[in-house]
Amino acid sequence: MRLEEKVRGASHREVVDRLGAFFGAKSVVLIGATDRSPWSIWTHANLRQYSPNVTVHVVHPHHDQVHGQQVLKSLNALDEPVDLAYVMVPTSAVLEVMNEVADAGITNVVILTAGFGEAGPEGAELEAQLVDLAHARGLTVLGPNGNGFINAAGGLTPYGLLITPPLDVGPVGIVLQSGGLASAVLAGAQARGVGLSLLVSTGNEALTSASDIMRYLIEDDRTKVIAAFLESIRQPDEFREVAELALAAGKPIVALKTGRTEAGAKAALAHTGALAGDDRVIDAAFRQLGIIRVNSLEELLATAGYLGHHREIRGRRIAAITPSGGACDLLADLASEEKLEFPEFPPETLAELGELLPSFSNPQNPLDVTGYVVMDPTIALKSLGIVANDVVGNYDMVLYTATIPRLEAPNPAPIEQRMDALAEAGKSLDVPLVLQSLISVDLTSYSRKLLGDRGLYLLSGIEPGMRAIGHGARYHDRRDRWLEVGPPTTAPSLEAPVNARGVWPEHLVRGLLEAHGIPVAPARLATSALEAKAFAGEFEEPVAMKVASSALAHKSDIGGVALNVEVDQVTATFDELKKRLAVALPEATLDGVLVGPMRTGGIELLVGVVTDPTWGKVLSLGLGGVWVEVLGDVALRVLPVGPEEITTMLGELRGAALLSGARGTRPVDMDRLVAVVYQIAQLAEGLGEALDTLEVNPLRVEGDCIEILDALAVWRSEGDSK
């Protein structure tokens, strides 16, 4: 992939600096500006309204006056250097214009024009030319087929759709691979009081990817959290690096990634020209990388807004103050689902609340100050004061249901005083104060002012709010562990066996596994009935016998496995297995028959490593039998993983209790089990590109006895096996 290699060549710092200049432009030229295009009208209007310190030029070969401004016929007419070109010319003119842009000494280009990679093979060819040209001329390009960007914090808004005021500046950086949703997200953010640092619509990502934008946002001081709408991850290595930089910096990435389902993946394929990866692998990769995955635009904004304003909240213990028992019920239900806690109030707190609140109240956490708050609106704040005394060591945050008036009252003083008191309480509280509304409705200009003037942020709605708090708690858990353990180390590179071709059945894989010290149940490959009988004598009676042929991947498909064979039956069984192979696959060569001791009891696991087209080697781990076959109960991780992560994987299995001795099974030596799975993962990873699949099934586990009973490998190079 030519593009990726070129981009990958750039260092993190280079990308950040380049985009810093890009988003920090002080002058913009709109190329192809015309009063007949809404895009042109709106981009110009946006710049006029929200970019007061930016010089705007308009260029069009055939107009004199556009958007009430004098038109330059060409870039040659510019009498000063310009930082950024915004290109709206027809598709066929884009390359020529880019050359003119470069000639004029402009290095930053937004291309709004569509008709490139998204439009079939011809468009893709044109996009490739565009990329070459940009590289040759040293241009930084956003798009094509993108709306541009809104640098809210920096006052630069070359964005193709009208920005309805107000444009709130704040801690959330947004990157979208869908231009069509960018304005919806903007409107949603405004409605909820989620302030933006930067919003970027990346379009076709010919040169600047969502990952690049995230790099910039990680280094951008005004951005505290990154919200992303992603349709495809084209460069997973790049993405992984960025995610780890974000983890290191403590800037949460909240991502809405589409293509969750087969149907979704099909839609994504059709219109972006990029394959959506297997969604379960993406889920796994995101979890490993500390990325918060959400399911809707609403959840994206609620989570990013919360984290932007409350990034510092760690822990799950909440003290809540509400005006309604119904709200308490909802909070309690959601807390349980999100594994958040409402620890009981200390006795002194309860006693003081009992004195403050009406006799018919029932103080507890979450607290219902009762409808009496209508008569005496101060009881909620007073309750906050009481709860505040005992928060240290008991709670990680105070959650306060705030009913913010939507319209200014004839006498606004009382509410404004209460808002002042609330802001003061937040400042003096020893843990963060989180304000929350009972239901998700938009801020009005008045409620926005009441909050904004006091630097307050309101979580919109009980359910969206509690989900966001849950995301935050899980994020910090993941990140803390990541900081503690560090990123997993890559496995040492291993040379593939010289005969690594096609499919390797058990008798070939055994040697590979044993050579790397991985425990395989004992067995010997007998090449004659006589030898088989001799080998059988080495083991306890009865034995297991399995036909071995490089041409046969699945022995049991042809009845090639004989169990519980008594010693006196070994010779006959050898001949029978030989016959079965000859009948089923006449052209196959018999390599021999594996003879080994019978193994029964214990728990069987499946340990597989497959190659995902996007993410590379993926480890899957599950309990055998119904668990995998009927329930699909498998934990996934993108390699590399460390032993800690394998322990977590085992804990994620729905049948995990079996490993610790449920139903009378012998508890498994977990350290040893993790070590063996880790060995398998290291081997598969170390073999690199040569290996496609390594599947151990089953790995038998009984107490501290852990051994492989069967395994299969698939190599990348074609063999003659099938």
As a whole number of angstroms, the distance between CA 672 and CA 679 comes to 10
Residues constituting the chain: 722
As a whole number of angstroms, the distance between CA 192 and CA 460 comes to 7
Is position 336 an interface residue for a second copy (rule: CB under 8 A)?
A: yes
Structure tokens at 229: 């709408």
Is position 364 an interface residue for a second copy (rule: CB under 8 A)?
A: yes
Give long-range contacts, CB 8 A cutoff, 24+ apart: 672-678.
672/704, 672/706, 673/605, 673/701, 673/706, 674/643, 674/646, 674/647, 674/650, 675/643, 676/518, 676/519, 676/706, 677/607, 677/619, 677/621, 677/646, 678/641, 678/642, 678/643, 678/646
Please give the residues from 33 up to 52 whose contact with a second copy meets the rule CB under 8 A. Answer: 37-39
Is position 66 an interface residue for a second copy (rule: CB under 8 A)?
A: no
Of 132 and 442, the one with the shorter C-beta distance to a second copy is 442
What region does 615 belong to: left with phi over 0, alpha with psi -120 to 50, or beta? alpha
**CA 302 to mean position of chain CA atoms:** 17
Omega before 519 within 30 of 0, i.e. cis: no
Neighbours of 164 (CB within 10 A): 10
Is position 2 an interface residue for a second copy (rule: CB under 8 A)?
A: no
Is position 663 an interface residue for a second copy (rule: CB under 8 A)?
A: yes
Whether the CB-CB separation of 594 and 525 falls below 8 Å is answered with yes
State the minimum distance, in angstroms, from the CB of residue 175 to a second copy. 13
Instruction: For residue 442, give the amino acid letter.
Output: D
Is position 171 an interface residue for a second copy (rule: CB under 8 A)?
A: no
Whether the CB-CB separation of 655 and 640 falls below 8 Å is answered with no
DSSP string, 685-718: HHTGGGEEEEEEEEEEEETTEEEES-EEEEESS-
Of 227 and 500, the one with the shorter C-beta distance to a second copy is 227
Tokens 């969206």 belong to 464
Quote the DSSP letter at residue 338: T
Is position 371 an interface residue for a second copy (rule: CB under 8 A)?
A: yes
Of 553 and 656, the one with the shorter C-beta distance to a second copy is 656
Of 100, 168, 283, 298, which one interacts with a second copy (CB under 8 A)? 298
SS3 56: strand
Q: With contacts defined by CB under 8 A, how many residues of the chain interact with a second copy?
A: 97
Phi, psi of 343 (to 5 degrees): -60, 150
State the minimum distance, in angstroms, from the CB of residue 438 to a second copy. 4
Q: For residue 248, with 0-12 CB atoms within 10 Å meaning exposed, 13-18 middle and 19 or more buried, which class applies?
A: middle
Of 22, 23, 229, 395, which one interacts with a second copy (CB under 8 A)? 229
State the minimum distance, in angstroms, from the CB of residue 186 to a second copy. 9
State the minimum distance, in angstroms, from the CB of residue 586 to a second copy. 27
Is position 370 an interface residue for a second copy (rule: CB under 8 A)?
A: yes
Of 61, 90, 105, 358, which one interacts with a second copy (CB under 8 A)? 358
Question: Among candidates 67, 64, 61, which has minimal Cα distance to 37?
Answer: 67
Is position 502 an interface residue for a second copy (rule: CB under 8 A)?
A: no
Q: For residue 559, with 0-12 CB atoms within 10 Å meaning exposed, 13-18 middle and 19 or more buried, which class applies?
A: middle
Structure tokens at 441: 């409705």
Whether the CB-CB separation of 298 and 188 falls below 8 Å is answered with yes
Of 497 and 559, the one with the shorter C-beta distance to a second copy is 559
Rounded-to-10 torsion of CA 22, 27, 31, 33: 130
Whether the CB-CB separation of 459 and 404 falls below 8 Å is answered with no
Question: Among candidates 162, 150, 160, which has minimal Cα distance to 196?
Answer: 150
Whether the CB-CB separation of 697 and 710 falls below 8 Å is answered with yes
Of 119 and 248, the one with the shorter C-beta distance to a second copy is 119
Is position 360 an interface residue for a second copy (rule: CB under 8 A)?
A: yes
Is position 406 an interface residue for a second copy (rule: CB under 8 A)?
A: yes
State the minimum distance, in angstroms, from the CB of residue 337 to a second copy. 7
Is position 327 an interface residue for a second copy (rule: CB under 8 A)?
A: yes
Of 418, 580, 599, 654, which one interacts with a second copy (CB under 8 A)? 654
Is position 123 an interface residue for a second copy (rule: CB under 8 A)?
A: yes
Is position 560 an interface residue for a second copy (rule: CB under 8 A)?
A: no
Is position 374 an interface residue for a second copy (rule: CB under 8 A)?
A: yes
Of 114 and 553, the one with the shorter C-beta distance to a second copy is 114
Of 140 and 361, the one with the shorter C-beta distance to a second copy is 361
Is position 118 an interface residue for a second copy (rule: CB under 8 A)?
A: yes
Which one of the spans 5-13, 112-120, 514-522, 691-699 is the region binding a second copy (CB under 8 A)?
A: 112-120
Residues 569-608, mask of contacts with a second copy (x by CB under 8 A) = ----------------------------------------
DSSP string, 590-636: P-EEEEEE---SSEEEEEEEEEETTTEEEEEEEESTHHHHTT--EEE
Is position 144 an interface residue for a second copy (rule: CB under 8 A)?
A: no
Which one of the spans 92-100, 456-464, 520-528, 679-687 is the region binding a second copy (CB under 8 A)?
A: 456-464
Is position 446 an interface residue for a second copy (rule: CB under 8 A)?
A: no
Omega before 505 within 30 of 0, i.e. cis: no
Residues 601-640, mask of contacts with a second copy (x by CB under 8 A) = ------------------------xx--xxx---------
Is position 464 an interface residue for a second copy (rule: CB under 8 A)?
A: yes
Is position 682 an interface residue for a second copy (rule: CB under 8 A)?
A: no
Is position 119 an interface residue for a second copy (rule: CB under 8 A)?
A: yes
Please give the residues from 235 up to 294 whose contact with a second copy meets the rule CB under 8 A. Answer: 256, 258-264, 266-268, 270-272
Does the CA dihedral 380-383-388-391 come out positive or negative? negative
State the minimum distance, in angstroms, from the CB of residue 146 to a second copy. 10
Q: Where are the beta strands (DSSP E) in 323-423?
A: 367-368, 397-401
Of 22, 50, 342, 535, which one interacts with a second copy (CB under 8 A)? 342
Of 8 and 339, the one with the shorter C-beta distance to a second copy is 339
Of 85 and 438, the one with the shorter C-beta distance to a second copy is 438
Of 179 and 432, the one with the shorter C-beta distance to a second copy is 179
Instruction: For residue 445, give the amino acid letter.
Output: S
State the minimum distance, in angstroms, from the CB of residue 184 to a second copy. 4
Is position 462 an interface residue for a second copy (rule: CB under 8 A)?
A: yes
Is position 394 an interface residue for a second copy (rule: CB under 8 A)?
A: no
Of 229 and 239, the one with the shorter C-beta distance to a second copy is 229
Is position 679 an interface residue for a second copy (rule: CB under 8 A)?
A: no
Of 524 and 654, the one with the shorter C-beta distance to a second copy is 654
State the minimum distance, in angstroms, from the CB of residue 397 to a second copy. 17
Of 236 and 655, the one with the shorter C-beta distance to a second copy is 655
Of 108, 151, 197, 322, which one interacts with a second copy (CB under 8 A)? 322
Strand partners, 292: 254
Which one of the spans 431-439, 556-564, 574-582, 585-593 is the region binding a second copy (CB under 8 A)?
A: 431-439
SS3 246: helix
